[in-house]
């Protein structure tokens, strides 16, 4: 049941967006419409899982044997950037439908702190391969869940009368705070 606990904890209790504050720029940027949020969420799930697998393998089988752990930041960002490029080219060639759906979100992912954050957290928490796989996938699902829920609320906010000074990002941040409060309610569940 261990993997189940890891998944629940990563999706709800330690939600990467609302409890660990990672990936807030796309959270504010692409949450204006539900359809873009869906696309971004799917792209993050795909890339974050793949990036974690690659960085984990490189860290444990290349960097640790050669003693270059201090290069972690540089190597991880390069791996993620290269991977995003590669995925983009691959999808463009092989699967036009998926490319059309995810294409414009892929370049944005390179600078998404959630992807890099998940890769770094895997190393920091000393996860094994299987734990890493579950953790990365579940964290990315948590990100998408929060993003999609948030986009749903934000779509409705267009028609509500909001004080002029709070319009835009200010009200979105306060909303995110209230959502984060709701997610705190899951905290008792893991234990």
Q: Residues interacting with another protein, by CB under 8 A?
A: 18-25, 28, 32, 70-74, 76-78, 81, 110-113, 116-117, 120-121, 124, 154, 158, 163-178, 180-181, 184
Which is closer to another protein, CB of 85 or CB of 100? Answer: 85
CB 106, min distance to another protein, A: 13
Residues 83/106, Cβ–Cβ less than 8 Å: no
CB 169, min distance to another protein, A: 5
CB 40, min distance to another protein, A: 15
Count the Cβ atoms, other than its own, within 10 Å of residue 185.
Answer: 10
Which is closer to another protein, CB of 29 or CB of 128? Answer: 29
Which is closer to another protein, CB of 2 or CB of 126? Answer: 126
Which is closer to another protein, CB of 57 or CB of 166? Answer: 166
Q: Which residues contact 40 (CB under 8 A, 6 or more apart)?
A: 26, 30, 105, 108, 144, 147
Q: What is the DSSP letter of 68?
A: -
Each residue of 72-82: b (16+ CB within 10 Å) or e? beebbbebbee
CB 1, min distance to another protein, A: 27
Which is closer to another protein, CB of 62 or CB of 174? Answer: 174
The three-class DSSP label of residue 145 is helix
CB 22, min distance to another protein, A: 6
Which is closer to another protein, CB of 50 or CB of 171? Answer: 171
Distances, alpha carbon 4 to alpha carbons 35, 121, 131, 138, 190, in Å? 29, 18, 10, 10, 10
Considering Cα of 170, then 147, then 118, then 113, what sign does the dihedral take? Answer: negative
CB 189, min distance to another protein, A: 16
Conformation bin of residue 37: beta by default, left when phi > 0, alpha when psi is -120 to 50: alpha
């Amino acid at each position: 049941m261990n993997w189940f606990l890891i998944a629940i904890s990563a999706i709800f209790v330690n939600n990467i967006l609302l409890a660990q504050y990672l990936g807030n720029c796309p959270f504010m940027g692409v949450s204006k419409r539900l359809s873009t949020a869906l696309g971004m969420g799917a792209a993050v799930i795909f890339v974050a899982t793949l990036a974690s697998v690659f960085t984990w393998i490189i860290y444990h089988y290349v960097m640790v044997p050669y003693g270059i752990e201090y290069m972690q930041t540089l190597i991880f960002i390069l791996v993620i950037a290269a991977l995003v490029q590669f995925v983009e080219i691959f999808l463009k060639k092989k699967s036009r439908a998926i490319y059309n759906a995810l294409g414009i979100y892929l370049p944005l992912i390179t600078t998404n702190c959630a992807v890099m954050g998940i890769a770094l957290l895997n190393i920091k928490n000393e996860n094994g391969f299987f734990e890493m796989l579950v953790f990365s996938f579940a964290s990315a699902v948590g990100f998408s869940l929060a993003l999609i829920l948030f986009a749903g609320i934000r779509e409705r906010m267009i028609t509500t009368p909001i004080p002029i000074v709070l319009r835009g990002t200010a009200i979105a941040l306060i909303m995110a705070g209230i959502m984060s409060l709701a997610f705190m309610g899951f905290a008792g569940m893991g234990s």
